[in-house]
Amino acid sequence: MKQFQYSRPATQQAVIDAINKPGAKIIAGGTNLVDLMKRGVTAPDKLIDINHLPLKNIAPVKGGLHIGALALNSVVSENKLVVAQQPLLSMALKAGASPQLRNMATVGGNILQRTRCAYFYDTTMPCNKREPGSGCGAIGGYNRMHAIFGASDKCIAVHPSDMCVALVALDATVIVQSKKGTRRIPFADFHRLPGEHPDLDNNLAAGELILGVEIPDNNFAKNSYYLKIRDRQSYAFALVSVAASLELEGNTIKNARLAMGGVAHKPWRLVEAEKALIGKPVSAETFNIAAQIAIQGAKTYGGNDFKLKLAPATITEALKHASGLV
């Protein structure tokens, strides 16, 4: 790989100064970035190590739970507050990667991880995300893992995270800091669709550092489920995953959250399907209707045609688990 500089600015402020320089890139757990560097997909001039910053806290804040950007995926997944209040997040984290990776990967890094599209990683292949204008190798190629929602003719890659699927379902907020101060980005607005610029994964501006995420309090703890369908039982990306959270009043669905992974360039919130659940009784029929609404507008590319069947099946099954039907 290309030679690069490495620095570890002492303070948060010094980090923000450092990442304002061109060619600088933050490294935390490095579980994705190092791969990208080894494969020649990314070649930063300077790595800014932030692992020492005090951003590992998991603590209640007014109306919600704050999780620091440097909290490890493994730590968050086992945290008592998270397990008790936001079990959906714990389940999603445990479905991701492998224990070894979760012990290294941070919350901020998980949010910023890049697609696992094979064409993105193979520098001999066309990829508009890696090299704008070179074309999309996955369209007409190996696209079994690829998007069925929100893709463009420039890119059909998916965001690979499980954690983010839970966070978008839970209406989390990403808190970022730059020289201009802090700003709060609703999770659903954080990642982008590929459109004309698949090289841009998200709306984080240059010079911004993720401080953490906040999850507002909710009443979903009793009825949440994360279901991930994959080609092996661990250490595989989702063919399709579903985050489902319900608030029940007797047998009636008072509130619902539904999101999918493995289907779009961003964690895919299913607002219309949620609406179809609210006020309805817990039943297989209710869930089937919601699942059919969820896949309206889906478009497939050959290798991923099966997701038209797998996605609704997974939604139905996840809702059954969340509601206690199974």
Single out the residue of 201, 247, 274, 317 in contact with another protein (rule: CB under 8 A): 317
Residue 153: how many other CB atoms lie within 10 Å? 12
Single out the residue of 9, 30, 132, 141 in contact with another protein (rule: CB under 8 A): 141
Q: Element (H or E) spanning 238, and its range?
A: none
At 216, is the secondary structure helix, strand, or coil? strand
- Smallest gap from Cβ 145 to another protein, in A, equals 9
d(CA 36, CA 96): 19
Asked if 235 touches another protein (CB under 8 A), the answer is yes
d(CA 99, CA 271): 32
- Smallest gap from Cβ 301 to another protein, in A, equals 13
Stretch that binds another protein, among 55-63, 185-193, 198-206, 224-232 (CB under 8 A): 224-232
Q: Where in 24-63 is the site for another protein (CB under 8 A)?
A: 40
Stretch that binds another protein, among 19-27, 151-159, 234-242, 243-251 (CB under 8 A): 234-242
d(CA 169, CA 244): 8
- Per-residue binding string, another protein, 142-161, x by CB under 8 A, is x-x-----------------
Place of tokens 């050959």: 302
Give residues with Cβ within 8 angstroms of 13, minimum separation 6. Answer: none
- Smallest gap from Cβ 40 to another protein, in A, equals 6
Stretch that binds another protein, among 45-53, 113-121, 243-251, 265-273 (CB under 8 A): 113-121
Q: Which is nearer to another protein, 158 or 213 (CB)?
A: 158
In degrees, to the nearest 5, what angle opens at C-alpha 277 toward C-alphas 271 and 282? 150
Q: Which is nearer to another protein, 163 or 213 (CB)?
A: 163
* DSSP secondary structure letters along 142-202: --TT--SSS-BTTB------SHHHHHHHTT-EEEEEETTEEEEEEHHHHB---TT-TT--B
Q: Residue type at 255?
A: N
Asked if 234 touches another protein (CB under 8 A), the answer is yes
Asked if 290 touches another protein (CB under 8 A), the answer is no
Single out the residue of 122, 131, 199, 217 in contact with another protein (rule: CB under 8 A): 122
Q: Which is nearer to another protein, 120 or 190 (CB)?
A: 120
Give residues with Cβ within 8 angstroms of 323, minimum separation 6. Answer: 223, 246, 248, 253, 282, 287
> What are residue 239's DSSP bridge partners?
none
Q: Long-range CB contacts (< 8 A, 24+ apart) of 51-59?
A: 51/27, 52/8, 53/12, 53/15, 54/12, 55/12, 55/108, 55/211, 55/212, 57/212, 58/82
- Per-residue binding string, another protein, 239-268, x by CB under 8 A, is x-----------------------------
Q: Which is nearer to another protein, 236 or 278 (CB)?
A: 236
Stretch that binds another protein, among 87-95, 114-122, 197-205, 268-276 (CB under 8 A): 114-122
The residues binding another protein (CB under 8 A) are 1-3, 40, 98, 116, 118-119, 122, 124-125, 137, 140-142, 144, 227, 229, 231-236, 239, 306, 309-310, 313-314, 316-317, 326
